[in-house]
Structure 1
Amino acid sequence: MIHQTIRHDPATVLIRAVLSLARGDAELEEHRGTSWASATFTGMRHVMRLRFEDAQAVATAHWLVRTLPEHEFALSGHLVADIAITDRHCRSEGEPSMTLIIEALTVEAD
């Protein structure tokens, strides 16, 4: 029997949540996470780059741009304290595509 470890670190949980919200239309190209702490909280800063290829995926990306900042995430053991799309690049020649840069801060929930 093969046993698989289920990862519940904030990066994995957040990536899965964002990709789920993107309805399978996004590909994660990059994720960088760095530890973060304040006087009262500990957490992680995240930078993700998502790529959307084809017209349907680009429509999903536009929907995500409008929806993501107000979305309430349910992450096991963590809260999304802040999330924003900080950059986007569109290609309209040929098959449309869009790349989104998403920055987020997750903090440990007590």
Structure 2
Amino acid sequence: MIHQKIRHDPATALIRAVLTLARGQAQLEEHRGTSWASATFTGMRHVMRVSLLGETGVRTGAWLVGTLPDHEFHIAGHLVADITVSEIHRRAEGTPRMTLTIEALTVEAD
């Protein structure tokens, strides 16, 4: 039997994890991923934008801002080395809306 190391897609896993953490209140608007490497690690830098609508969505967005930096993500084969909300845009008129720009660095765990 041949054993191969299966490479998991960290971008899809990270997006899924963030949207799950938002309890169905967030929608992905955009994701950009670029390869990243240091002398000892390889990985990917991620920039994603999510939107949250309505009062419940905006409350969830505010909760995410405080939760994401300390959240322990479980992504097969990867570690979330850093994650932060770099931009927050709020709209109060009409239906409340919050848009978050989230930046993250995932590194291969092996």
Which TM-score bucket, shorter chain as reference? Answer: over 0.9
Cα offset, 1:8, TM superposition: 3.0
Between the aligned residues of both structures, percent identity stands at 71
Tell me the matched-pair count.
104
Determine the C-alpha separation between the residues in 2 that align with 1:81 and 1:72. 10
Q: Name the SS for the 2:39 alignment partner.
A: coil
Q: Counterpart of 1:36?
A: 36
Determine the C-alpha separation between the residues in 2 that align with 1:108 and 1:66. 25
Q: Counterpart of 1:3?
A: none
User: What is the CA RMSD across the aligned residues, in angstroms?
Assistant: 1.0
Mark the runs of 5 or more structure 1 residues left unpaired by the alignment: 1-6
Determine the C-alpha separation between the residues in 2 that align with 1:8 and 1:30. 20
Q: Which amino acid aligns with 1:9?
A: D
Q: Which amino acid aligns with 1:27?
A: Q
Runs of 4+ displaced beyond 2 Å: none
Determine the C-alpha separation between the residues in 1 that align with 2:8 and 2:51. 24
Cα offset, 1:49, TM superposition: 0.2
Name the TM-score, length of structure 1 as normaliser.
Answer: 0.92
Mark the runs of 5 or more structure 2 residues left unpaired by the alignment: 1-6
Q: Counterpart of 1:101?
A: 101
